[in-house]
Structure 1
């Protein structure tokens, strides 16, 4: 089982093999590909730092504890219809995204995210709507 915070559910949709450091990318790719290859993998939704945050590089202020990040987590969970503490499989999370989220929601829910300008998260949501799941990352 993996523990994930709210906004990382969207980050996984947009993930294309880029990140903050080599260690972060390896960790994100491993988790991403596990979910892609086994959508029955269980996820526990948590408040605050999760298993992706564990590998965020220590370069001054700890990004994962920033108030702005917490402020992004809850609205994403609200939009998807999920709650902190829930345990469900990745396939069920994709179903909730398909039901409640459209690609343009990224512009509002992730307004302050530095990765938003790449457009990959909107593409990821569209791929969930098209029943493609997470894309392969090598």
Structure 2
């Protein structure tokens, strides 16, 4: 049974103990992260999120188009939370593109391992990857982006 089909009371207890909110495009970033980042605090937080997901691959994620568990330590977080900013619109568009390609809605609950399987099966050609990652300043250092000549 998918998380979307579970009743609110059934999912509330799972969310309290396991839920991590993740921007849709961060499913790519997590896989390509090499230790580079906006600041030492950002890098440490990204490593902690990745370690958590590696330790518990069945961890429940809520895929979103807003600041998430990774954005918490980003120096640009304030600008990103201003919905009218150019940065916010660009990053949100990356999330919306990922969600569209995965054929899921903003706010969908999915287990981490299932989310990674889904993104790697649905975003598997150069044009899809360029559409999502084309404006990202980290793409030249991202293992996920560079994999298979992306």
Common topology (TM > 0.5): yes
TM-fit CA distance, 1:78: 1.2
For these two proteins, the number of residue pairs brought into alignment is 124
Deviates most, 90-99 or 102-111: 102-111
Structure 1 regions of 5+ residues with no counterpart?
127-138
Question: Which of structure 1's runs of 4+ aligned residues deviate more than 3 A?
Answer: none
CA displacement 1:22-54 (0-9 Å, x = unmatched): 111111101011112221011011231111111
Cα 1:38–1:103 change in 2 (3 A) is farther
Q: Where does 1:1-138 land on structure 2 (aligned, <5 Å)?
A: 1-57=19-75, 62-63=79-80, 65=82, 66-102=88-124, 104=126, 105-123=128-146
Structure 2 contact 140–146 (Cα < 8 Å) conserved: no
When the two chains are superposed, the root-mean-square deviation of aligned CA atoms in Å is: 2.1
Matching residue of 1:130:
none
Distance in 1 separating the partners of 2:71 and 2:105: 19
Structure 2 regions of 5+ residues with no counterpart?
1-18, 83-87
CA displacement 1:33-91 (0-9 Å, x = unmatched): 111222101101123111111111159x6245421111111001111232211111111
CA displacement 1:77-130 (0-9 Å, x = unmatched): 111232211111111102212321215232222111101123522356x6xxxx
- Is the partner of 1:62 in helix, strand or coil? helix
TM-score (norm 2): 0.73
